[in-house]
């Protein structure tokens, strides 16, 4: 989408028109244009979205492993889970 917006700006459309066509804010269009001017096409294509891998994790790797092991080694009734996961009674 950013490349199409930049293309429309280069063809003479104003930021408000491009924002409406792209269904984003005028500020976003401005950000795309600035990034285009400073870094070109590659900068617009290389932007990662969302959080970095692992950033959202609350449990350590060791804690995750322990929980995985407990879930695989026991039935829901042993763990006193309120629902069945397809194991045992």
pLDDT tens string 10-54: 999 999 999 999 999 999 999 999 998 998 888 778 666 677 766
CA angle 81, 84, 89 (to 5 degrees): 100
Alpha helices in the chain (DSSP H): 2-10, 15-22, 26-45, 61-73, 76-79
Q: Looking at residue 82, what is its pLDDT?
A: 64
Q: Which residues make Cβ contacts (< 8 Å) with residue 13, sequence separation at least 6?
A: 21
- The Cα–Cα gap between 46 and 80 comes to 47
């Amino acid at each position: 989408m950013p490349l199409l917006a930049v293309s429309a700006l280069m063809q003479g459309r104003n930021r408000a028109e491009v924002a409406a066509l792209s269904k984003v804010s005028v500020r976003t269009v401005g950000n795309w244009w600035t990034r285009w001017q400073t870094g070109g096409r590659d900068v617009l294509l290389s932007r990662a979205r969302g959080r970095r891998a692992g950033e959202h994790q609350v449990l350590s790797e060791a804690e995750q492993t322990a929980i995985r092991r407990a879930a695989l080694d026991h039935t829901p009734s042993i763990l006193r889970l309120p629902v069945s996961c397809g194991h045992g009674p």
